[in-house]
Amino acid sequence: MKVPDMKVPHPGPKTRAQLERLGRFEGKAGLSRGMSPDTVMVERALGASVEDVDGNIFLDFVAGFGSLNAGHCHPAVVEALQAQAGKLHQAMSLGSSVRLDLEEKILSLVGGQTPRKILFGTSGSEAVETALKLARRATGRHEVVGFTGGFHGRSMGALPFMGRKTQREGLGALVPGAHHVPYPYLYRSPFGCDPEGCIAGTTAYIEEFLRNPVSGWGEVAAIMIEPVQGNGGMIPAPLGFLKALREICNRYGVLLIVDEVMSGFSRTGKMFAYQHEEVEPDIIVMGKSLSGGLPLSACVASAKIADASAPGSETGTYAGNVMACAAGLASIAVYEDENLTERAGKLGGYFLERLGELAERHPIVGEVRGRGLMVAVELVSDRPSLEPLSIAKKVSELAVKKGLFLYPGGHYGNVLAFLPPLVIDEAQIDTAVEIVDEALLEVSK
């Protein structure tokens, strides 16, 4: 199958008809891309290929916003779902072996010296809220520190840690107790763009916040961080930062929550992104590719922290749904059997190299960055000043017309982000880079 294969200009006639229906049935707030020219009405998908209702075939470098690390409709995941569907759909308060098997597998992947327990949910937002409740109950404190530019979900409990203003507008007062400190964003760090200076400056800022009696001293329950900021623009924390943050948390009796919803399950070249350093978080939040795209999330906490909540206080009707658990077991088997962790690391390096070539041809490319296959291009109008060029949405719309899905994001709407399935190959990366090259040329004109 040739990918991409644009049989008719996008949006085609069938797509336009369905978009018109969509406009009648759903509000824009319910659509991740809104009803914009790049909205695709999908008929079927496989691997990194997506076919729309008009027969156009697209190359998918978004992969369900990172929820399809094994690709669309991986045969092993499909087979597991079909087998489970004939046995049991939903267990709720009943036990099931498939749920136990998944819990055991997740704990083996986390490893470490700390005994841990799992609390399932249905979304990353839900898992984040569980983590926040556990941290507050376990410590008896009520303040939590997040990072500027972070994205931990859109539900009301997670929203105070949202780094995007548009997601918070019009909602009035949010859940109190949330604070933000600068993320170690090397390209735009106020403490310098070298890793050592950025780490030193950021950690000094956090320590001052924690020990200052006006801000944090004695009141902070936890610090929550994405090892690689996803929605913020695929920004890896410099190696060494998580270790330094762990040491700060230990000194001040603060819990460390690591959000691996987007960066987990082989995406960065490790099973979890925090494992690039020798760090043991107190709480780990995971979702998305945990279950190959089905609604499932998990909050993995030390046994002591997990047991601080009363029985049944952190669960819900669909938490740990057995269909999703079956998909989770099958997905993790794919990550391991097909060596997708190593593959992500290798192909991520190749992808960065190819995107680096764009910087030589396009002055608006300010930085190319990533860890594994969490990759991004940051666009600027002027390299010396780092002035953001907020045209990522326009580039995305042009790319879709050429048959490529990418993820427009970043703090200023100036980042082209890529989260391809880990099953892609170098030829598909080459195709994606060629399309981005063409789109940048058109935008520059």
DSSP string for 237-255: PPTTHHHHHHHHHHHHT-E
Report the distance separating Cα 108 and Cα 266, nearest Å.
14
Report the distance separating Cα 213 and Cα 285, nearest Å.
30
Q: Within 13 Å, how many C-alpha atoms sit on residue 95's CB side? A: 4
Return all residues near 67 (Cβ < 8 A) that are at least 6 apart: 287, 288, 289, 292, 293
3-state SS class at 224: strand
Q: What are 253's two structure tokens?
A: 């009796």
Report the distance separating Cα 151 and Cα 155, nearest Å.
11
> What residue has token string 């859109």?
154
pTM to 2 decimal places: 0.95
**Predicted pLDDT of residue 86:** 93
> How many CB atoms are closer than 10 A to CB 316?
13
User: DSSP string of 336-398?
Assistant: HHTTHHHHHHHHHHHHHHHHHHHHHH-TTEEEEEEETTEEEEEEEEETTTTEE---HHHHHHH
Give the single-character DSSP code of 183: -
Give the single-character DSSP code of 310: P
How many residues can be counted in the chain? 445
Contact 298, 290 (CB under 8 A): yes
Extract the runs of DSSP E, i.e. beta strands, from 106-162.
116-121, 143-147
Report the distance separating Cα 328 and Cα 104, nearest Å.
12
Report the distance separating Cα 161 and Cα 179, nearest Å.
8
Give the single-character DSSP code of 120: E
Return all residues near 318 (Cβ < 8 A) that are at least 6 apart: 90, 122, 295
Return all residues near 105 (Cβ < 8 A) that are at least 6 apart: 329, 332
**Predicted pLDDT of residue 29:** 65
**Predicted pLDDT of residue 444:** 86
**Predicted pLDDT of residue 35:** 44
N- to C-terminal Cα separation, the chain = 33
Q: Which CATH architecture has domain 76-337?
A: 3-Layer(aba) Sandwich (3.40)
Give the bridge partners for 284, in sequence order: 258, 300
* CATH no., domain 13-74+339-444: 3.90.1150.10
Report the distance separating Cα 154 and Cα 134, nearest Å.
19
**Predicted pLDDT of residue 186:** 96
Return all residues near 336 (Cβ < 8 A) that are at least 6 apart: none
Report the distance separating Cα 216 and Cα 212, nearest Å.
6
Contact 301, 131 (CB under 8 A): yes
Report the distance separating Cα 161 and Cα 145, nearest Å.
8
3-state SS class at 151: coil
**Predicted pLDDT of residue 20:** 86
What is the CA 336 to chain-centroid distance, rounded? Answer: 20
- Tens-digit pLDDT profile for the chain (445 aa)? 578 999 999 999 999 999 888 888 877 666 555 445 568 999 999 999 999 999 999 999 999 999 999 999 999 999 999 999 999 888 765 678 999 999 999 999 998 889 999 999 999 999 999 999 999 999 999 999 999 999 998 888 888 888 776 677 777 667 888 899 999 999 999 998 899 999 999 999 999 999 987 776 679 999 999 999 999 999 999 999 999 999 999 999 999 999 999 999 999 999 999 999 999 999 999 999 999 989 999 999 999 999 988 777 777 888 889 999 999 999 999 999 999 999 999 999 999 999 999 999 999 999 999 999 999 999 999 999 999 999 999 999 999 999 999 999 998 999 999 999 999 999 999 999 999 999 999 998 8
Q: In CATH terms, are 13-74+339-444 and 76-337 the same topology? A: no
The domain limits of the chain are 13-74+339-444, 76-337
